[in-house]
Amino acid sequence: MDKRRRKQFRALKKGHPIVSIGMFIAMCVALTVLVGTIASLIISYIIDSKLGAEYNDLQYMKRIYEASENKIEDGQIFELLNTEGRDYFIVSPDGQKVYENGENTALDQRYSAFLSYMTDEKSTTAEAEKVIVRFDSQRGLLSTDEEGYIQLDEWDLIMQLPDIVESSTEVGTTGTDNFLTRLFDIQPGTVAKIPLWFELPVGSAGNILCGKAFIKINMSDFAWVVTLFFALFMLVLVMFVIIFVNLLRGLVRRRNATKIFFTDISTKGKNWMWFLLRGENYLKSTFSKRDKFAVVNLSFVNYRNYCACHSLAAGDELLMKIDRWINERLNRNEICARVNGAEFALLLKFFDKRALEARVRELIDGLQNIDGEHIYHFQAGVDLVGVSRNANGKAVKRRFFDMEIAYNNACTTRETLAGTDESGMAFFDEKMVEDQRWVDMVQDNQRHAIDNEEFKVYYQPKYNPQTDELKGAEALIRWISPEYGLVPPGKIIPIFEKNGFITEIDHYMVTHVARDQKRWLDSGYKCVPVSVNISRAHFIESDLAEQIRDMVDAEGTPHELIELELTESAFFDDKKTLVETIKRLKSYGFAVSMDDFGSGYSSLNSLKDMPLDVLKLDAEFFRGENSGTRGEIVVSEAIRLAKCLDMRTVAEGVEVKEQVEFLASQGCDMIQGYYYAKPMPANEYEERMKSNESNLRRAAESVEAAEFSTLMGNSEGDTELPILGM
């Protein structure tokens, strides 16, 4: 998968619902902690404010004790302390009781705590001090007036809102057992007094003063706390509802967006992006490492023709039907999606290649008759994905699997069937890998090769079959690679035509042929026209004629020595532009020929519209079954038609004497083929030109000698000889 799609996939994963749910839970926890912290701070503030005064009183008693420590013996110090009206007791460091006032109800268990309190009434800041606390065995008292109290059980659990299991009727209570019910039955002005005991070290002897203190909570304070708690609870609830609703809305939006993102417009099923992500992730997972899979490129042949005969809407409806039909026949963990046009990507699980082949053929056979009215054709390319194993032979995850590469292999395989419209299937193999490597190598080296003139021009002569005289030649390209040697054109030209480099090759060939022709002219050779192939890709350029003219002029070559060959397929493109380009080329003095006449289906129509000079008969006319009587009839009529249109004819691919004799009898102007010569380097072609000139001279001398002999024979008995040349 490329970086762009990986980035899209990562963005999609970031929006996964689990992430949103996790964020929702985290926010709820954070709100709960926040509310708990606020409540804890409020309670701490209330307790500190209530206990601060009590603790200050005990600190006052401590100061009295320490100031009057010398009066312990006469008991005056205890009389002073008793005036505070507080229960307390004093013990020595070893635990012996020194003095006790009131009832000692303190529990033995001791706790450490921090208490914030004002050091004096004028202070504006509180100080925290570590204190020792004991709980009281009497739990707590509840007052409904200034004097009457009732005892509460489990007072130390009030903060945790337990149920009070013991009831009292001393002050006219209702006797209910539920704490909350009793709590809300309490009248305004009621005060809750919760006893605690503080320990303070006093005196130089290290004694401990343990005094009783009360947390006095008015019901107005409690109501304020309850109200605050209720407000916080409602705030949390509202925020929870808002977050939850937004979460649901976000999940719905994300689900809809994801559905749109992965939905194919035509079939309403899954699209290529879904197939790519889902398939690649599954094949990389642990769950699939022991299974074998096939990545299939399934193409609906001639889908465009179906749309042209029916409509685009009918085509989409058929694609939708095909998508549903295939998905209904998939097994678990198998997927299918439309890629583009009329192509579908399939991921199939298999155990045996033969069984897989039978299954794919079964799918194709079923699709051929999917609607019962037409017979459709489908072609499939298959790339097999085996099990990855480590050095010990154990199955491991396919960590480096790339679905795009596998699907491209399947497409490459399917394209080998593109020469036919019939249904079929093919499996990807290593030869295709080698072919692709060759394509990559050619493309990597094409620019370097043209810059270093590794491409060489070969010439194949054209001869007059009546006189065996050299009348022309065709320029053909060969690649002389330092690494691969002589590379035939069939291994490079199709690659250049696909990647667009063919236009560079055309420029290269025109320039080098013009350069050779100029060199031969300057050397005194009798040059004949040389034809150069021009790719159909070049004819999209409106100034093609001017480009060729300028290249030939730059070499100083006469235009009549350059002939431009157009393949018949070029006539299927923009005919208006093509005709205009041909006319301009002819106006500049170039001859124009149609190559491979008879290989297409619009030849006669092309001849009608195109102002051509030369017609080249396709080599297939002289090979195979068509080379018999019927083929001869077609060839002879083509030659006759060309003469009627004032065109010269060239027969290419001629290899045997009988073909030469037949073409000569039909008046064919030139023959190009192995019978006379194969393509050859420029130096060998020079020798052909020399030989042709020698033959022409010998022929001319023979003609002159024959004419002289005839004249001499006719002059016997005459008294005067005629003057030659008169």
294 pLDDT tier (thresholds 50, 70, 90): very high
Predicted local confidence at residue 190, as pLDDT? 63
Q: List the 378-385 sheet strands across, edge first.
A: 335-340, 343-350, 292-300, 378-385, 424-427
Non-local CB neighbours of 276 within 8 Å, separated by 6+ positions:
1, 5, 403, 404, 407
3-state secondary structure of 299: strand
- Residue 715 above 70 pLDDT? no
Name the least confident of 271-285, 295-309, 413-427, 699-713: 699-713
The mean of the pLDDT values for the chain is 80
Give the tens place of pLDDT for each residue, 171-203: 333 333 444 444 444 555 566 777 888 898 988
102 touches 213 (CB < 8 A)? no
CA distance 529 to 492: 26
147 pLDDT tier (thresholds 50, 70, 90): very low
Predicted local confidence at residue 152, as pLDDT? 42
Predicted local confidence at residue 164, as pLDDT? 28
Greater pLDDT, 371 or 703:
371
pLDDT (average), residues 272-285: 90
Query: Residue 23 to residues 104, 237, 244, 360: CA-CA distances in angstroms?
Result: 54, 17, 11, 47
Greater pLDDT, 571 or 323:
323
Give residue 251's identity as a one-letter amino acid code.
Answer: L
CA distance 583 to 553: 18
Predicted local confidence at residue 181, as pLDDT? 44
Predicted local confidence at residue 363, as pLDDT? 94
10 pLDDT tier (thresholds 50, 70, 90): low
Per-range mean pLDDT, top range of 4-8, 39-43, 112-116, 354-358:
354-358
Predicted local confidence at residue 383, as pLDDT? 93
CA distance 247 to 630: 79
- Residue 402 above 70 pLDDT? yes
Residue among 333, 334, 347, 362 nearest 297 (CA): 347
Non-local CB neighbours of 418 within 8 Å, separated by 6+ positions:
379
Name the least confident of 235-244, 679-688, 697-706: 697-706
Give the tens place of pLDDT for each residue, 59-105: 888 888 888 877 766 677 888 888 888 899 999 888 888 889 988 88
2 pLDDT tier (thresholds 50, 70, 90): low
Greater pLDDT, 128 or 362:
362
Predicted local confidence at residue 224, as pLDDT? 72
Predicted local confidence at residue 686, as pLDDT? 92
689 touches 527 (CB < 8 A)? yes
Give the tens place of pLDDT for each residue, 618-642: 777 766 555 567 778 888 988 999 9
Name the least confident of 144-158, 217-231, 406-420: 144-158
pLDDT (average), residues 336-351: 93
Predicted local confidence at residue 261, as pLDDT? 79
Give residue 292's identity as a one-letter amino acid code.
Answer: K
- Residue 699 above 50 pLDDT? yes
264 pLDDT tier (thresholds 50, 70, 90): confident
CA distance 43 to 48: 8
pLDDT (average), residues 600-620: 76
- Residue 321 above 90 pLDDT? yes
Helix (H) or strand (E) holding 672: strand 670-672
Domains of the chain: 23-231 (no CATH), 272-428 (3.30.70.270), 439-620+681-692 (3.20.20.450)
Share of the chain above pLDDT 70, in %: 77
Name the least confident of 164-178, 206-220, 671-685: 164-178
pLDDT (average), residues 409-415: 90
CA distance 496 to 156: 93
Greater pLDDT, 31 or 382:
382
Give the tens place of pLDDT for each residue, 19-50: 667 777 777 788 778 777 776 776 666 666 66
